[in-house]
Structure 1
């Protein structure tokens, strides 16, 4: 129907005044696609479809009723054809969808049903046509559709007739009646129906039954709108980010004000939002029950209950007045009936608790809504934990990449040190005259050896580039630092290219110092390749040598090598081993996997312990890399 109307240019009906050149001077224009949804597009849509501000209006005359009657007769004649655009134009001008033709004795819906015009019937139903209206012969549009063999139209008219009650029943129990088999109503039963036997519930039900048909229709329409609002609100909450909703101010939603309704009705519609799930479900069940009674024409039942309820209310009022006056209440004597009522109430409460404990028993609407809300909250919490898990995984991935980069650069530094360790130059200020002869004997000794001068099996002594200081008591030759083209360029370049860890690990910029110190210890060997072997040293020389080798300097951030004799040089801390880093990394990954598994299995109690274990593991990982402090 909507597609047919759109293809026939029905949009020009809603925007008649906008398309009329005579009304362009009013300043109103159609919203552009680039305009904002709020408030530009929202106001335009409300004015176009709700307020009908741009629809063509007939000039006001004294015979408006005659004009409306004439338009309704034209509609009565037009619905037998398939021209939807003409009928929509007549309806927009004021034709009545439920117009009863005085001469033919039927309504436009009877004519459309008899002609088999399903789209016309759908359009009339949108404008309020009643599928249950009888003509002069006592037949409904459904009867004419079945007589003409239009079974699809007949079924659609039945669905339209029971649309309100079907929607209410589907909201409570998720099922719709089978209209094809004659089932037109489904009255859900509350699992704790004993609560509905209270005096307030009985009084409310009697007031509902005493309403006129017109007031009952308005109440049913308002409840229908409230059901639609609650379902829409539930869908909106399920699609929002709950972590941001918690921080925002929460406002209780309710139905918007309808300008066509009175202020009393608008207030009553908005008060429906204050009903909890159980109260609203009770109201819906009462409306369904009374709608079925009114549809079938059944008389009111329970007149005796009404009398008893009135008498009990009067007695309660008298007893309250007597108690206020501090007078003896001789009339209110405990009777067997009161005892029976108390026993029945306690039994009903016990039965309710038993029913709530049974998994296969009936489930109340309140319990269902509580479980549903808990499920929505759990899903929101799971999404938040998944986001935290993704952040931790990204951080762990960055840590692994940094670790691999450091390992590769460390291996490159080892290779460079192995290649250039014997390309050192002698300096006269670090050696004495007693060692010149031994150094002069080195070329012949090296030339006579066919093997490499770097023998891993012999355990050579370490070469300390910056740490050894010449002591008077030592007569051994001290090795020179790396030349300018080797020591400074290679090591400083490598240290400057090292990446930095994330802030969570508190990685210091003095990492190059720790890596250089570790390089010196790993490349140390027990023997020296020079002629002055450690066997010639006495214990004092050995101690002095050890002291000299233990002195090391801390490289500055700009890559310069400080003077070895600086008294405030701080020792470089030892880097953790690769096995420790891998073990801590695997522990962090394992804890994150446990948190993910707990989230997937809905183990809410495990979220906090798993998060604490992740925090402890990350803290232990950060503790492996201590900061280096220098004294100035």
Structure 2
């Protein structure tokens, strides 16, 4: 492997200076000793991706990228302020090899790699946004300067940034320029090798068009890195992507006799796995991939580390970018016994293969549609598969594989199995047909229900028109003059709505669902008397402009606002769960919107107008304060100050709500 000419005589640990380190951080581009590596492993792969230099599975380009960065001073990027005399901090020094691991080395490594304390930060005059840094990265990856690209990534540049004016990402630029090491650096720091440009091309296609065939094959390997790693872990095989073999379906006959242990619980778990949507299945595969990496690294660790029992990583570290539920699920993967874990991986690979075949067939069908046979009815938002094979189908596949003398793998094995196992395929099609018939019946029932609803609403609308016309004729008789035709009155925008109010976008049509409040006819003398009395007190046009809601509506909706404020108050009792504040603020905003929607835009009462103004003003301030409190990472005093601001906003909203209810009770 080619190494730079200015390489140091002896490699040293980037964090403490120990000679002859045996580990590497792939995304940091540095070498590490055993003790410092143990702290890196406890931080998680999202912070530092650890591999053994001598027993890890390396690609030639990936290993060359790490050595190139290490030999050219990549560590100075992570220790910039320590090396800069003008920004040297008092009491802060780099640990030495003989310093204790805890707390000296551990605290330094966390500050250096987790908190990025020593990374170069642009001054206020030189401040660059993330977009500007990403544009610089977009230009840097076409060169051989890996250190420049790593510095931009450390400062916040996005490896998947899409340059709108040029229609490409850094991965496309590096692929066109043939910069294999830049590709490895981008992917190690979160770059997506499957990302497309403005022409719908992936980086592998760009590299192939530019004549970089080896680089194109390497990018394709990175696209299938997850399934390749899982296959390697289960059956010690790896697909040959050069032959368009992108997935190996494990041989069930051998695995059933060996590692796999099939029970009722595993069959139930597989059924749940088959029901997962594509995005959740991908997340599960990534979590299992991380667990495989942890277990394999742990195995290497016990064979090469000097004191392995002191620095083990029993489960996946917490990733703050993921939800707490997903982090708990990731940690529970460590409880799986080897047989259980192997069973889960095999089920994942089988399910991935099934969905891959469905997607491939759908793609072929789409190509035929474009040729003019028929137009596809599949939406981009719908999954490209209808169902998956049942447990009996998998068992039948295992029997066929056991009786077959010719080994099969990948897509070819799946195709041969489907061809030779026609009865199984027929059963699957029958089940799909049954599910489709059930879905059609459900849709027909829903259509009938919707039709009845439409008929009911149409009838209700006709009744409302009759009520409005009757009211207008009464008003004309009382005023002693003939008015225009009813059709003319209905065309006016200011016609009175007789207690009818606009339906809020946050509420259901409650008034319409209660026909007793709308079914007003000429045979109801009491109701007609109330209408005539109301029309005598105000003109036809003033009634629609200044009509106020009933006190029952106001009371009911203010109770909803009070209930939401109480939920926020309960969440504030535990400041450590600040992620619950923003959802509570949103619920309060919805409740306030429902309350204000029943009032006219310009109420005549000054107290009501003032209360509504306070509600609308304070709800926006409450959401802002809750968002600021959720992002607050300061000391306890700062958090306490933010809590007081949220309490003040909630109090003002409650005060305005109480003023509104009191005003209606008085009136």
- Normalising by structure 1, we get a TM-score of 0.43
Q: State which structure, 1 or 2, has the greater radius of gyration over its C-alpha atoms.
A: 1
**TM-score computed with the length of structure 2 as normaliser:** 0.41
